[in-house]
Structure 1
Amino acid sequence: MTIRVSSNANALARSLDDFIKRQLPFAIAQGINKTAQRVAEAESENIVQTLKNPTPFTRKSVGVRRAKKGSPTAVVFMKDITASYLQPYETGGVHKLPGTALLNPKDIALNQYGQLPRGIMGKLRGRKDIYIGVVKTAKGSINGVWQRLDVSRNGGVRKKRVAHGGLYDKHLGALKLLIRFGDALPVKKQLNWGKRAKQIVDQWIDRDLADALAAARRTAR
């Protein structure tokens, strides 16, 4: 997911004196870099506005490879890891899953970003009170991570547990669903990464180049 910011300044060069022409490649690079930075900042803000409470890693995933005097093209890019799971927000499709199934939290503590803590599945697999697999319920089979509850098997406690979202399995005992496994869901939001970048380039590139050239003129004096 990259955006290239460049400009053809040949027309400008024909109207400039020799000193400014020598400074022109540097000035062009400066102007392009200023526009590219605008694009990067806007795309970072776009991520924050589009996604629900993204992590710092996701928020800081946009970078800029700056234009140079001999290479007047700047590249605004998204880091590969982030781009891999945000790609559907640009092209459409389903969410990229971190594993073979969507982990849908049900009754488990989440981190400050509303996500399952890193490595949670490994920790749960090592607990004796955890069952991972399919449980048949009155509404159908549910595949997920279940916590075995240490409760009495008498009918009163069992009914109370069911009333609070749990269930009782004759083989596994009283259970609470912590995480439900599911299929990847369609992405409903769009970043419009390319469209937003083009709008900013069209709006600012001429002004940023003009400012950079004006600064070069002032230096010449």
Structure 2
Amino acid sequence: MRIEMTGLETMHRVRDKLGEVERRQLPFATAVGLNNIAERIRRGEREVMRQRFDRPTPYTLDALYVRRASKSKLEAEVNIKDSAYKAAPASLWLNAEITGGDRRQKRSEKALGRVGGGKFWTPAPGAVMDGYGNVGRGFLVKVLSALKAHGEQGYMANRSKSKRSQRKARGFDIFVGAPNGEPMGVWQRINSAHGHGLKPLLWMQDQAPTYQVRFPFDKIAANIYRAHAPEEFERAIRLALATARG
């Protein structure tokens, strides 16, 4: 999802009413106005995320970016990052919140699918959660590594060759299945003084989680633009005239 804004209409509308110096400054003023509005939209979108999402992570909040306008290109854009280094892009889950409907598969879900675990997972009671209420990344890596679901390269990258590391991996006895008629999931075998047991870590399913619209990105941006564009362009024109060279 993205919001694009162009300042050509604004520039053409006011050009004939300005003097020579003012006209020379108009492209600069238009670019400044567009960039200020774009930053307002980004701040507003982030605030809505804070209000409507349960403890959104900094990674999610920082997923919004602004492509700034210039005098030679009077277009500004507010968008959501669609790529990330060694991580799933935030657009993977934000788009479902924006448009509703089914969520796309995560990388971890594709990896688990290779060991017969279904297409999607949700946390089970045994999952380790982080401070934002999400399944902890370290826990998930541990699960994938124990199942060797990363593939050999990822598996070795996330586990050292030390005897201690190998011993810990052997102690994390997990499997994918539906034991004794229980739901399909990732289960851990537990040994205690009271005997043996099973603990569910992740529930697995073939049906994608379905989302309701909670973050109407376009509507939020349009409301902010209508409310603040006039004052931002007026402020930008005053700045341009104040800094103009005769």
For the aligned pair, the TM-score class normalised by the smaller chain equals 0.7 to 0.9
State which of 45, 48, 52 in structure 1 corresponds to 2:47: 45
User: 1:108–1:178: 8 Å Cα contact kept in structure 2?
Assistant: yes
User: 1:2–1:75: 8 Å Cα contact kept in structure 2?
Assistant: yes
Distance in 2 of aligned mates of 1:110 and 1:124:
18
Partner AA of 1:36 in structure 2 = A
Distance in 1 of aligned mates of 2:39 and 2:6:
13
Distance in 2 of aligned mates of 1:131 and 1:197:
46
Structure 1: give runs of 5+ residues left out of the alignment: 159-172
Query: 2:154 corresponds to which residue?
Result: none
Partner AA of 1:107 in structure 2 = G
User: 1:32–1:73: 8 Å Cα contact kept in structure 2?
Assistant: yes
CA RMSD, Structure 1 to Structure 2 (Å): 2.0
Query: 1:167 corresponds to which residue?
Result: none
Query: 1:165 corresponds to which residue?
Result: none
Partner AA of 1:212 in structure 2 = A
Closer/same/farther in 2, CA of residues 105 and 213 from structure 1, 3 Å limit: same
Q: Is the partner of 1:52 in helix, strand or coil?
A: coil
Partner AA of 1:144 in structure 2 = G
Query: 2:12 corresponds to which residue?
Result: 10
When structure 1 is superposed on structure 2, of 127-136 and 105-114 the one drifting more is: 127-136
Distance in 1 of aligned mates of 2:16 and 2:71:
18
State which of 91, 94, 105 in structure 2 corresponds to 1:83: 91
State which of 226, 232, 237 in structure 2 corresponds to 1:202: 226
Closer/same/farther in 2, CA of residues 108 and 82 from structure 1, 3 Å limit: closer
Task: Output aligned runs, 1:48-127, within 5 Å.
Answer: 48-80=50-82, 81-98=89-106, 99=109, 100-118=119-137, 119-125=141-147, 126-127=169-170
1:128: how far off?
A: 4.3
Q: Is the partner of 1:147 in helix, strand or coil?
A: strand
State which of 179, 185, 192 in structure 1 corresponds to 2:202: 179
When structure 1 is superposed on structure 2, of 209-218 and 199-208 the one drifting more is: 209-218
- TM-score normalised by the chain length of structure 1: 0.82
Q: Is the partner of 2:211 in helix, strand or coil?
A: coil
Partner AA of 1:192 in structure 2 = P
Distance in 2 of aligned mates of 1:124 and 1:51:
32
**1:143-177 Cα shifts (integer Å, max 9, x gaps):** 2222222246xxxx46xxxxxxxxxxxxxx52122
When structure 1 is superposed on structure 2, of 79-88 and 64-73 the one drifting more is: 79-88
Q: Is the partner of 1:178 in helix, strand or coil?
A: strand
Closer/same/farther in 2, CA of residues 34 and 27 from structure 1, 3 Å limit: same
Partner AA of 2:125 in structure 1 = K
Partner AA of 1:49 in structure 2 = Q
Distance in 2 of aligned mates of 1:41 and 1:2:
15
1:91: how far off?
A: 1.5
1:129: how far off?
A: 4.4
User: 1:4–1:75: 8 Å Cα contact kept in structure 2?
Assistant: yes
Closer/same/farther in 2, CA of residues 43 and 127 from structure 1, 3 Å limit: farther
Closer/same/farther in 2, CA of residues 73 and 129 from structure 1, 3 Å limit: closer
Structure 2: give runs of 5+ residues left out of the alignment: 83-88, 110-118, 148-168
- TM-score normalised by the chain length of structure 2: 0.74
Query: 2:188 corresponds to which residue?
Result: 147
Partner AA of 1:132 in structure 2 = F
